[in-house]
Amino acid sequence: MNVLAEPSLPPALETAAMWSDSEVAGAGIEVHDVPLVSVGGGIGSFVTVDYLRIAGGLTPVDIRVLSRQRRAWQAYKHLATVSQIPRRGRIRSDASSRPDNIWGFPSYAWQEAIRDWNPGPVFQVLVEPVLADYYTPRLQDVVDSLDREARRIGYDEMLVLGNVEVVRKRLGGGYFTVLRPECAGSPRDGRPPAAPVVYRSRDVHLAVGYPGLRFLPDLQRFRERHDFHHVVNAYEDHEHIYQALRRRPGTVLVRGAGIVASQVLERLIRDRREGGSATRILHLFRTYVADTHGPHMWARRHGKDGFAYQGFNYPKSVWGGQLRARMHDLEGPERVRAYEEIEGTTTPWRQHWQNQLDRARQEGWYQSLNGVIGDLTWEQGAVVARLDRPDEPHSAALVRADYVIDCTGLIGEVEEHHVLRDLLEHGGAARNPLGRLDVDQRFRLRGAENGDGRVYVTGAAAYGGYFPGVDTFLGLQIAAQEIVDDLAERRHCRYFGPLRSFAEWLKWLTGRQI
Amino acid sequence: MVPTLSGRIQTRLFLLAVIGWPLTMLVTPLLPLAGPMPDRYRATLVVLAAVAVLGVGWELLYHLLMQWRWEKDWPTLFGLVTLLPEGLLVWLLGSRAMLPGLTAPLDLAAFAIHFVLVWLATWLVANGPMRVVYVRWRFRGGRLL
Ligand SMILES: Cc1cc2nc3c(=O)[nH]c(=O)nc-3n(C[C@H](O)[C@H](O)[C@H](O)COP(=O)(O)OP(=O)(O)OC[C@H]3O[C@@H](n4cnc5c(N)ncnc54)[C@H](O)[C@@H]3O)c2cc1C
């Protein structure tokens, strides 16, 4: 797909890696000047802009957020909700991972304790994870807190709705970011698509999230041959499966061992308990983890019943502890090895999940399987999965189910996103050892610097760099801190010292607009 | 904050100096201690110094123990309960007047009140207010330098 195939960008611009002011003016494209644009408008843009406003002292006129969504939490909340975190449900990250508060204090646990007049959450943080599971905030509280902070920093004043098509270097330094504005009508209304506009900026920040959902080949083949209804990715809306199972008993094959699989299991079990469904669950593990595992005594992760257990997406020391320090200057194969050590799908240990599954096993309606799906077919009104099993290499097992819920994830490949791919093709960007975009310790995209201008990349596209935690709330904040410190060193914003930090925190606490 | 080794040591020394020292200066006259004021201050300041100096050794041990944890983290609770072995060691040394600078054995009640107060205050500050002022501290494993 050629993203520049829309009629309005002249071919000369489409192919040139560097654009001049006069070329852009000559093409008749409207130009807006702003020091910094953030492309994406998700959580990554939000925390970066929040940091720039609070710590960097920039004003709303210094920043434009170019996004397809009005609220920073929309993409995240959508994925979290369809993957079965209910509105009142709890997310994965901890009390002080607060995308709405750069200090992480007071934590979500304090907020919840004070609001509900119940010391439970604070006590839980005190004893986690030794005597209790990790405290994690409720999804809705996270969303509400982001809305509050958005109002406080004037987020809407900085927001421009539309689809970003490309970021190209500008002759003389800085960048042009091409945006096709939303709202001005779509081809379906019979109106021509809105003319693109260009943001001319010194710096660009990119946090564009995941390009799409991952459909493994077996799943894709099934969906091409049969339907989209019986075999789904857990990150797409699949409420119809739960509804159908409430009406008629059935068997579900759940694939995957991460937190999404745990959440899907919780939903299926809750529907059995509260909704009266009689679902049988087959749970397929590609790598069945039976026990605590790891290469040596200082690198052992807890595991049991197929699952590998870990509180958060990464070992906790990734966000500032020893793992972050260790990876801070690992290059090439060494870095890949370090990633391999911490990789592997994990889910948190939550006592109520353990109890639910124990009961399900005892009552015989939950069964775990070890293997890989070789093929999925539709036979006599059911999905039939042919399993290749590592323990018995020459015997494939056939498993019948009414539905398959695949919990294996999202696509992170950068070439799937047109802006990122364009940066690889025209922007001088290169890949890191894990294939994503190569950023330095300050999240500057290597090869994309232009005169006084820099491109910063955070979120999934920067995974594989010196900082593995970059695609999490707290990781995005760590990255934002590095970016703002870099801008301060480049003398484009203020340095954030202890006194101002305290003063700004007081404003946050009292909800003062900045 | 998930500490690195140098972060642990820096944080300990910093908090003992910035929180522990003023607190000690404030509470010493109120502690159930006998004798002239300079002697009382000597007793409490020696304890504070012992917590700092012995603490470097303790931090090495904690860092070693932390290596058995997959997450390489140090739960909040650990930061609190390590009060017991550390307090005990300082007490054992202090009650036998084996801490350099002590002229007489420590008094148990005064020591316990002072030690627990300082410990709680530094622990509380480390678990929140610290990051309000030093916004980079928690992302650098507790390092301040
Ligand atoms: C189900 C789920 C649960 C998670 N739970 C946690 C958790 O508990 N704790 C935690 O710390 N992290 C969690 N994460 C990770 C966290 O959500 C991400 O780190 C974070 O959302 C990444 O922010 P982002 O801005 O990079 O991407 P997003 O928040 O996805 O936002 C990207 C935005 O960019 C927009 N965009 C993309 N391309 C363009 C374009 N060309 N033009 C304009 N806009 C564009 C998209 O529309 C989207 O709005 C979770 C992720 C998922 C999927």
The two three-digit tokens of residue A504, written as one number: 């700004």
- State residue A394's pLDDT score: 61
For residue A38 and ligand 1, the question of a CB distance below 6 A is answered with: no
Nearest residue in B to A292, CA atom: B70
C-alpha span between A110 and A124 (Å, rounded):
11
List of chain A residues whose C-beta atoms are within 8 Å of the C-beta of residue B134: 498, 501
- Same-domain pairing of A191 and A262: no
List of chain B residues whose C-beta atoms are within 8 Å of the C-beta of residue A128: 75-77
Q: Which residue owns the Cα nearest ligand 1 atom 31?
A: A42
User: A53-62, A178-187, A368-377: which has the minimum mean pLDDT?
Assistant: A178-187
Q: Ligand 1 centroid to A306 CA: how many Å? A: 28
For residue A174 and ligand 1, the question of a CB distance below 6 A is answered with: no
- Same-domain pairing of A24 and A68: yes
| pLDDT of A280 higher than 70 | yes
Find residue A33's DSSP bridge partners.
A200
Instruction: Report how far apart, in Å, the C-alpha atoms of A183 and of each of A186, A192, A232, A419 are.
Output: 8, 12, 31, 21
Beta strands in A44-107 (DSSP E): 63-67
Count of domains in chain B? 1
Any domain includes A432: yes
pLDDT band at A276 (very low <50, low <70, confident <90, very high): confident
C-alpha span between A219 and A198 (Å, rounded):
40
Average pLDDT over residues A58-67: 98
| pLDDT of A339 higher than 70 | yes
Assess whether the previous peptide bond of A119 is cis (omega < 30° from 0): no
Over pLDDT 70: what percentage of chain B?
Answer: 100
- State residue A7's pLDDT score: 47
Any domain includes B145: no
Over pLDDT 70: what percentage of chain A?
Answer: 95
Any domain includes A100: no
The two three-digit tokens of residue A167, written as one number: 């970021």
- Same-domain pairing of A283 and A351: yes
Cβ-defined contact of A502 to B133 (cutoff 8 Å): yes
- Same-domain pairing of A391 and A264: yes
Over pLDDT 90: what percentage of chain A?
Answer: 89
- Taking Cα atoms as reference points, which of A501, A424, A493 lies closest to residue A206? A424
- Same-domain pairing of A69 and A158: yes
Nearest residue in A to B140, CA atom: A320
Instruction: Report how far apart, in Å, the C-alpha atoms of A200 and of each of A32, A350, B45 are.
Output: 6, 49, 60
Any domain includes A301: no
CATH of the domain at A228: 3.50.50.60
Phi/psi region, residue A132 (left: phi>0; alpha: psi -120 to 50; beta: rest), is: beta
Interface of B with A in 77-116 (CB under 8 A): 77-78, 80
Find residue A63's DSSP bridge partners.
A36
Choose the mutation target among A317, A467, A478, A510 for the interface with B, i.e. most B CBs under 10 Å. Answer: A317
For residue A69 and ligand 1, the question of a CB distance below 6 A is answered with: yes
- State residue A409's pLDDT score: 85
- Same-domain pairing of A226 and A175: no
- State residue A185's pLDDT score: 46
| pLDDT of A93 higher than 90 | yes
Q: Transcribe A97-138 into DSSP letters.
A: --TT-TT--S-HHHHHHHHHT--HHHHHHHHTTTTSPPP--B
Instruction: Report how far apart, in Å, the C-alpha atoms of A299 and of each of A323, A370, A463 are.
Output: 12, 24, 22
Any domain includes B77: yes
Average pLDDT over residues A238-267: 97
| pLDDT of A6 higher than 60 | no
- Same-domain pairing of A152 and A175: yes
Contact A468, A339 (CB under 8 A): yes
Average pLDDT over residues A346-356: 97
Any domain includes A88: no
Count of domains in chain A? 3
For residue A233 and ligand 1, the question of a CB distance below 6 A is answered with: no
The two three-digit tokens of residue B84, written as one number: 């017991």
Comparison of pLDDT for A371 and A409, the residue scoring more: A371
- Same-domain pairing of A285 and A177: no
Any domain includes A398: yes
Find residue A410's DSSP bridge partners.
A213
Residue in the block written with tokens 């920073």: A72
Domain housing A227 = 215-290+346-408
| pLDDT of A186 higher than 80 | no
- State residue A2's pLDDT score: 42
- State residue A393's pLDDT score: 61
Cβ-defined contact of B76 to A126 (cutoff 8 Å): yes
- Same-domain pairing of A372 and A330: no
- Taking Cα atoms as reference points, which of A460, A466, A469, A451 lies closest to residue A420? A460
**pLDDT tens, residue by residue, B1-44:** 999 999 999 999 999 999 999 999 999 999 999 899 999 999 99
Any domain includes A368: yes
- State residue A441's pLDDT score: 97
Residue that is last in its domain, among A361, A393, A408: A408
Any domain includes A337: yes
Domain housing B123 = 5-140
How many residues comprise chain B? 145
- State residue A338's pLDDT score: 95
pLDDT band at A189 (very low <50, low <70, confident <90, very high): low
Any domain includes B31: yes
Average pLDDT over residues A87-115: 96
Any domain includes B91: yes
Instruction: Report the DSSP pairing between strands A303-304 and A280-285.
Output: unpaired
C-alpha span between B93 and B102 (Å, rounded):
10
- State residue A456's pLDDT score: 98
Any domain includes A105: no
- Taking Cα atoms as reference points, which of A504, A471, A483 lies closest to residue A48? A483
Give me chain A's average pLDDT, please.
94
Decide if B145 touches A, using CB distance below 8 A. Answer: no
ipTM of the complex: 0.95
Average pLDDT over residues B97-107: 91
Average pLDDT over residues A41-45: 98
Average pLDDT over residues A91-106: 97
For residue A97 and ligand 1, the question of a CB distance below 6 A is answered with: yes
